[in-house]
Amino acid sequence: MERISTNTVNRHKSAKSLSVKFRKSIPIYMLLIPAMLLLLVFHYAPIFGIVIAFKNFSPFKGVLGSKWVGIKYFINFLTDENFWRVMKNTILINFYQLAFGFPFPIIFALFLNELKSNKFKKVIQTVSYLPHFVSWVVVASIVTTVLSPSTGIINSFLKSVFNIDPIYFLVKQQYFRNILVVSSIWKGFGMSSVYYIASLASIDQELYQAAAIDGAARIRQTWHITLPGLRNIIIVLLVINIGSMITIGFEQIYLLYNPLVYDVGDVISTYTYRLGIEKTQYSLTTAIGITQSMVNFILVYTANRLSRVLAGWSLW
């Protein structure tokens, strides 16, 4: 009897404290509600909207009115050779961009760090950031102009130095991926190098002095002091880059590609865009989107675990 009554009292008390806490929390909720509503509408609603991948969706019938078709659309694209072509391109292009684009800012930072003149250093650094700040539309316009067979500087250089006839770079399959890799590096290397430049600045200068006294040459100092100092930041950034491999690249490719290079340049995001928004195949492209998100999640998750093990740093 006694026990029961204390229980009720406790429950009563906790319900009361809950409602007190709720009332106290109201001002906080007011700060949160606008943002949560926006996410509900523009983020969570689309997440629930992925059910249309399992339905024969038509905008006139709506999500609820459309018929269930199971995994028909998944089978559709998984058995479509076009899908495997864009999958292959996505992986290859991202792999090349990582393989060539990742080391470049590190090398740049190392060379920049060795410069004696601080003023010259500052100028180079500032200029190297420039392409990061302009949009992909501007960069793609520049790429198109520079590679133009008639007015571009690349072709006029090739003509005057090697006497080579103008090359139509952007419609040739053998050049397209190289153009993507080079333009990505051009746009991003300056900004990406700031991580390494900051890490280089934080390496203890006494280590270099001690090494110099021991007679270690500059190159050996780089190998034994500088590179180990950069180790953690390199691992962290590599992991982040791998994690975002499958999602990047829509704007760049969409602006630069054309039907003549679809075979080597069409990627999942551009393919989804053409099929979904231009050809209104909503259910099919949603099914592709789900698959892409799943692969992406696995990549991010694995990358994060790897980073925690290798560098003791993780996103969450």
Which range in 7-15, 72-80, 90-98, 130-138 contacts another protein by CB under 8 A?
A: 130-138
Closer residue to another protein, CB minimum distance, 93 or 143: 143
According to the binding rule CB under 8 A, does residue 272 interact with another protein? yes
Q: Smallest distance, Å, CB 263 to another protein? A: 20
Residue type, 228: P
Nearest 5°: the CA angle 135, 140, 145 is 130
Interface segment toward another protein; rule CB under 8 A; list 2-10, 79-87, 88-96, 133-141: 133-141
Instruction: Return the DSSP state at 69.
Output: -
Does 289 participate in binding another protein (rule CB under 8 A)? yes
Q: Distances from the Cα of 101 to the Cαs of 64, 96, 193, 225, in angstroms?
A: 46, 8, 11, 24
Query: Binder to another protein among 175, 225, 276, 295 (CB under 8 A)?
Result: 276
Q: Do 187 and 132 touch, CB atoms closer than 8 A?
A: yes
Residue 55 in contact with residue 66, Cβ under 8 Å? Answer: yes
Residue closer to another protein (CB basis): 85 or 296: 296
d(CA 7, CA 20): 19
Q: Does 168 interact with another protein (rule: CB under 8 A)?
A: no
Of 57 and 89, nearer to another protein (C-beta) is: 57
> How many Cα atoms sit within 13 Å of 203 on the Cβ side?
22
Task: Tell me if 89 sits within 8 A of 267, measured CB to CB.
Answer: yes
Q: Nearer Cβ to another protein, position 4 or 31? A: 31
Give the interface size with another protein as a residue count (CB under 8 A).
94
Q: Which two tokens stand for residue 179?
A: 């153009």
Our CA angle for 258, 261, 263, nearest 5°, is 130
Taking the least distance from each CB to another protein, the nearer of 71 and 134 is 134
Residues 6+ apart with CB under 8 A from 83: 77, 271, 288
Which residue of 69, 78, 98, 124 would you call a contact of another protein, by CB under 8 A?
124
Judged by CB under 8 A, does residue 298 bind another protein?
no
Hey, which residues does 56 pair with through a beta bridge?
A: 67
Of 158, 203, 260, 290, the residue at the interface with another protein (CB under 8 A) is: 290
Instruction: Give whichever of 32 and 99 is closer to another protein, judged by the CB atom.
Output: 32
Least Cβ distance, residue 9 to another protein (angstroms): 21
The reply to whether 259 sits near another protein by the rule CB under 8 A is no
Interactions with another protein, residue window 209-248 (CB under 8 A) = 212, 217-218, 233, 236-237
Per-residue binding letters, 4-43, with another protein (x by CB under 8 A): --------------x--xx-xx-xxxxxx-xxx-xx-xxx
Residue 141 binding another protein, by CB under 8 A: yes
**What is the DSSP pairing of strand 67-68 with strand 55-56?**
antiparallel
Binding status of residue 112 toward another protein by CB under 8 A: yes
Q: Contacts with another protein in 183-202 (CB under 8 A)? A: 186, 190-191, 194-195, 198
Residue from 292, 306, 308, 310 touching another protein (CB under 8 A): that is 292
The candidate with the shortest Cα–Cα distance to 202, out of 218, 225, 236, 221, is 225
Tokens of 19: 């409602």
Q: Are the beta carbons of 155 and 147 closer than 8 angstroms?
A: yes
Phi then psi for 173, rounded to 5 degrees?
A: -60, -35
Token pair in block for residue 59: 């905008």
Considering only 54, 136, 169, 262, the residue that binds another protein (CB under 8 A) is: 136
Closer residue to another protein, CB minimum distance, 40 or 99: 40
